[in-house]
Structure 1
């Protein structure tokens, strides 16, 4: 393997469940790993959520079992032991209910003296960055690592968040979701910055809208408010709508049957390309320019482009009862 890879760790973040975090995470990871020349990245997806929805989805998609969870790998201090190859480019570390005890594990690993303020601060740092240190052991093997986190803000989620290079805020186009996006950026992430300063390295790439209800005026208003609050350049060009195929995938796994499936792949191909463009801005000029607008490459309105028709989706094509 190439030992000179510059791995980027990405989290789709929101403090509410059911807003598209797992859909985004799995779809972005799959697109990044496609063997097409414009992608062809080595990718690892880590399921950090105790509900393990990403594990279930990709287990069905690739007919794979996962003998070791991320929690077990952390306890054993060996992330490599939990990695399962789904495709040559896409690997995964499974989630599980045992992750619910991770906070207890950290307390046992790093006890502190309650009357010593220095000990308390040092212990908090060690607990919060425990996973980040372990992650370094596999980062050299991957171009991208996605971590699928649950909808909470406890020490467990903090461990994942401080390990990330970039965040994408997934926002359902409802009023309380818009307010939640403001909260996660201006309160939760700011708290991590205040607590850990330069040790917290994550940057927010932008906000990805999810339209989970029939389109209506409120949806347009939320998008306008988002652009007014954060800047038009902060909002991703693509909007993920609630298509029936996205609802079916968790039950049957991801497969390409017809045009509708290809359109979903094309949608997330554009989302991933925009992710890469935004990362490039951060790593070259330090921020996304105010004038930046992504130009769609894989979906022209509602139509597949030549690029999307040329996506190599053989791994996901429906094989019937074979």
Structure 2
């Protein structure tokens, strides 16, 4: 059986898709069978992996029952992925009935024995698509920036996770808060990290021991649809995500 991770945030721009991309690359490098699921209608993860999200079946086609989920999986040079596109924005309006939070879980059960790890890139915000991602997951990772705005959204994310644990997935666990784009020389970042630690203690949420340093090379690799281990194997971001992978394992 595969272990399923959701990577969720309240706001965009905190390195959510970068985290999914990097973890998938790291786990693939370790010899694992990895599947990524792009649940963000923006499709940034799909683009960064070189997947075709225009002329091929996407996760929208799978959750609406138009095609089998196995027909949506693309085998790119970087990872296996179920891509997404803007059509996914209409999914919430299409599904209004009972048990709609289990749609993704049900379709992923078809491929559960084919992968070791599944990473779900959920959209910013805490709506229908994110609830589906959490309901299908074993663990959730919460990336955030070391700033006040990310800290403010952390409590909302926690409340959403609590709701899912009570309503649809009592086995869901928080793997941890992942601090992205961290600069140890910044006084503001140090203060934000201290505040994040206080919040994590109060809410009983772990924080990863490794903070991911700001690494423009990661963004460059994604924009060029290139594997991070081919593009910048020695950059700080790659080293940090390798440590994050070790912590997860």
TM over 0.5: yes
Kindly indicate whether residue 16 of structure 2 is the aligned counterpart of residue 10 of structure 1: no
1:53-81 deviation line (CA, Å, top 9, x unaligned): 0011111xxxx535111101222251100
8 A contact 2:146–2:192 mirrored in 1: yes
Deviating runs (4+, > 3 A) in structure 1? 212-215, 257-261
**Residue 210 of structure 1 aligns with which residue?**
180
Q: Structure 2: give runs of 5+ residues left out of the alignment.
A: none
Query: What TM-score, normalized to structure 2?
Result: 0.89
Contact 1:167 1:203 in 2 (8 A): yes
Q: Following TM superposition, by how much is the alpha carbon of 1:180 offset from its aligned partner in structure 2, in angstroms?
A: 1.3
- Contact 2:213 2:240 (8 Å CA) reproduced: no
Bigger mean CA deviation after superposition, 156-165 or 223-232: 223-232
Q: Which runs of 5+ in 1 are unaligned?
A: 1-5, 111-122, 277-322
Assess, with a 3 A threshold, how the Cα gap between structure 1 residues 96 and 192 changes in structure 2: closer, same or farther: same
Is contact 1:17–1:151 with CA below 8 Å preserved after alignment?
Answer: yes
Whole-angstrom distance in 2 between the partners of 1:229 and 1:257:
36
Q: Secondary structure at the match of 1:92?
A: strand
Deviation at 1:228, TM superposition (A): 2.6
CA displacement at 1:146 relative to structure 2: 0.4
Partner SS state of residue 46, structure 1: strand
1:79 corresponds, among 59, 65, 69, to 69
TM-score (norm 1): 0.70
Instruction: Write the distance in 2 (CA, Å) between the matches of 1:135 and 1:257.
Output: 31
Is 1:106–2:98 an aligned residue pair?
no
Show the 5 A alignment for 1:110-189: 110=97, 123=98, 126-185=99-158, 187-189=159-161
The number of equivalent residue pairs is: 242
Paired residue for 1:242, among 214, 237, 241?
214
Question: Which residue number in structure 2 is paired with residue 228 of structure 1?
Answer: 198
Contact kept in structure 2, 1:11 and 1:146, CA below 8 Å: yes
| Higher RCO by CA contacts (8 Å cutoff, separation 6 or greater) | 2
RMSD value over aligned CA atoms? Answer: 2.2
